[in-house]
Amino acid sequence: MNCRNEYLDILPEVREALEAGKPVVALESTIISHGMPYPQNVETALNVEKIIRESGAVPATIAIIGGRLKAGLSPEEIEYFGKKGRQIAKASRRDLAALCSRGEDGATTVTTTMIIAHMAGIQFFATGGIGGVHRGAEKTMDISADLEELAHTPVAVICAGAKAILDLGLTLEYLETRGVPVIGFGTEELPAFYSRHSGLRVDYRMDTPEEIAAAFRAQRGMGLQGGMLITNPIPEAYAMDDGVINGAIDQAVAEAEEQGIRGKEITPFLLARVAELTGGDSLASNIQLVYNNARLASRIAAAYTGMAKEEKTAEQK
């Protein structure tokens, strides 16, 4: 376990689980501060942690509080994050040093959640959707740092695909170039976040958590750099009609361009506007897909730790 870092605090429950070889699943904090309003954000965050515990793993919500990197938050800290909301800065890799040196708070994105999870020795991370190549990136060069982090940080990220507001085809091309394996859980098609279908193919279909855990274990055993992206389709009951969601996204993207919204503000704007245009349906779908990903991540983490224990037992005989 790589947890010796002067800037890192690991919640006792998480530390004990890691030391005992129990499954641990990381969670991001941007979804709390920027993903939805209070108190729904806190309720959702606590529900995700509850789902992970019920699925046999230990949750570790990742954040930066008072300049400290946090691997695991207490309920009080989650409440603090939820109330403070958008006052908390979104923190990417480039922000970590400044936030820590200034003693400030930061909401972790996919990128920074992966970084801090890896520092703590956590290998699995459940989120809604990753960032990627934005529409029009050939002009703006707007490409999420999440893709670069996946290329060199050894954490398995379980999600419902890249956010549907992105250029999904170019996102897959970028991941291929950077050598990141994209796995479809029970599907050969890349999920499109709110929708189960994108018309794009993943690298490999795998049908059980054990199969995914074995692939990640092989990747780690070979010493290959980078992580693994596991895409998990939103449950059918909560999937949105392709025409409805794509129409809302197209309108939101056009409005963002008219208003000159760029950089780290673009994703929160688009997600909030899409939620407005769909009458809140997209937010409800977002919450359910996060729950679904948390369950799968817990099962994969449990399978992985089970393999590690079996291997250790075999070596001792």
Q: Write out the catalytic residue numbers.
A: 28, 163
**CA 103 remoteness from chain centre:** 25
DSSP state, residue 96? H
DSSP state, residue 211? H
Q: How far is CA 137 from CA 132, 134, 143, in A?
A: 10, 5, 7
Bridge pairing between strands 58-65 and 68-71: antiparallel
Q: Which residues of 279-311 are buried (b: 16+ CB within 10 A; e: fewer)?
A: eebbbebbbbbbbbbbbbbbbbbbbbbeeeeee
- Other Cβ atoms within 10 Å of 62 Cβ, number: 27
How would you class 153 by CB atoms within 10 Å of its CB: exposed for 0-12, middle for 13-18, buried for 19 or more? buried
SS3 call for 235: coil
- Torsion angle, alpha carbons of 30, 33, 35, 40, to 10: 130
For residues 62 and 70, is the Cβ–Cβ distance under 8 A? yes
